Amino acid sequence: MTILAFFLWSLAKVAVMTVVMLMGIAYTVLLERKLVGRIQNRWGPTRVGPFGLLQPLVDGAKSFLKEDLIPTAVYRPLYLLAPIIALGCALISISVVPFGAPGMGPQGFDLFEISNINVGLLVILGITSMSVYGIALAGWSSNNKYSLLGALRSSAQMISYELALGLSLVGVVLRAGSLNLRVIVEQQATYGIATWNILGGGQFIAFFIYLMAAFAETNRSPFDLPEAESELVGGYHTEYSSMKFAMFFMAEYGNMINVGCVATLLFLGGWTSPLGDLMGPFQSTWINALLPLVWFAGKVFAFLCLYVWVRGTLPRFRYDQLMNFGWKFLLPLAILNVVGTSLWLAYR
């Protein structure tokens, strides 16, 4: 394996994964519009392409063709940088996510992961926590009071729920003894669903905390207070238009996909089958190499459907309810889960 071959292989994986991620973002938007339409007893997009499947392509073209307005009073450097930071963090996070079985690909190369590092979970948490800078800078640089209030809300919300989210993952890390995402998945793979962290691993409470904190971290309903159209017009992206607004929109859905990937890896057994390791001697065939990829994609898809279901069901919280729920309920519950998991591991 030469350095040039390694570089070209890595570049090819980055290019393919970026395209897949962007297509996933586009069709997650379509998925939400169709599912919410069904929940609200309407059709959703149906006109562009069969069953409306080409609607994301039209929406993307429309975003590029809209007039790009920049208010005169904004601080232009940060105003332009903010959406890039938001979308960049959403795209970079996927680089350490393993989405298929290891050992597949040319000799010395891994097909289903861009980068396998021992602290993959820590990298994801670090990158996703940086995305708040995009929102904060957008609100401040817009020179708009509604935008600034939305940015402040988002910063307070991220700080509050990041604590509970991080603590919810401590129990999983204690069980696996590693921050490596592949090790965490392999630790759940022995007997299928019976050893997944959400059930046999005893981390159902941690999954609930992670789920609630993830809704808040991604500014999704019922925790979408940074936007809150009825209060703040549009929040931090009020002064954005055209493709810059679309980048914030894409960042939100990219973060949804990242959250679904992490939940799948940490709580739902990753790419493993619910029935355990049934591939046996046929693991080297391409069919059984692609089957784990199907399992992984199916679990992420189910998680995204849960996201949409919650949006179409629950009303938006008041801001005091949001903060009380994070600090007075989720954070103490996360601490108790860490203590309980530690005691269980110590005395089992």
Q: What is the model's pLDDT at position 173? A: 92
Q: What is the model's pLDDT at position 48? A: 87
256-270 residue pLDDT tens = 999 999 999 999 988
Report angle CA 45, 50, 56 to the nearest 5 degrees. Answer: 50
Q: What is the model's pLDDT at position 282? A: 46
And the tokens for 7? 């570089």
Contact assessment for residue 275 and residue 178, using Cβ atoms and an 8 Å cutoff? no
* Cα–Cα distance measured from residue 153 to residue 135, given in angstroms and rounded to the nearest whole number: 10
Dihedral angle at the C-alpha atoms of 96, 305, 100, 290, nearest 10 degrees? -150
CA Rg value for the chain: 21
The helix or strand, by DSSP H or E, that contains position 342, with its residue range, turns out to be helix 331-347
123-132 residue pLDDT tens = 998 898 888 8
Residue whose pair of structure tokens reads 């948490």 in the numeric block? 125
Domain ranges of the chain: 7-347
Phi, psi torsion values for 103, nearest 5 degrees: 85, 5
212-244 residue pLDDT tens = 999 888 888 788 877 766 666 667 888 888 888
Which amino acid makes up residue 172? V
* Cα–Cα distance measured from residue 107 to residue 187, given in angstroms and rounded to the nearest whole number: 25
Is the pLDDT score of 112 beyond 80? no
Contact assessment for residue 122 and residue 252, using Cβ atoms and an 8 Å cutoff? no
Instruction: List helix spans (H) across 44-75.
Output: 55-65
269-328 residue pLDDT tens = 888 888 766 544 445 556 666 788 888 999 999 999 998 999 888 888 888 888 899 899
For 126, other C-beta atoms within 10 Å of its C-beta total 12
Q: What is the model's pLDDT at position 281? A: 46
Instruction: Cis check for the bond before 222: say yes or no (omega within 30 of 0).
Output: yes
State mean pLDDT over 26-43.
Answer: 90
Q: What is the model's pLDDT at position 316? A: 82
Q: What is the model's pLDDT at position 31? A: 92
And the tokens for 233? 């017009």
State mean pLDDT over 18-45.
Answer: 90
Q: What pTM was estimated for this model as a whole?
A: 0.89
Helix (H, G, I), strand (E, B) or coil at 313: coil
Phi, psi torsion values for 340, nearest 5 degrees: -65, -45
76-103 residue pLDDT tens = 899 999 999 989 998 998 888 888 777 6
And the tokens for 28? 């997650």
Contact assessment for residue 93 and residue 256, using Cβ atoms and an 8 Å cutoff? no
167 pLDDT tier (thresholds 50, 70, 90): very high
Taking each helix axis from N to C terminus, what angle separates 242-267 and 120-130, rounded to the nearest 10 degrees?
150
Q: What is the model's pLDDT at position 139? A: 87
Mean of the per-residue pLDDT values of the chain = 85
Q: What is the model's pLDDT at position 328? A: 92
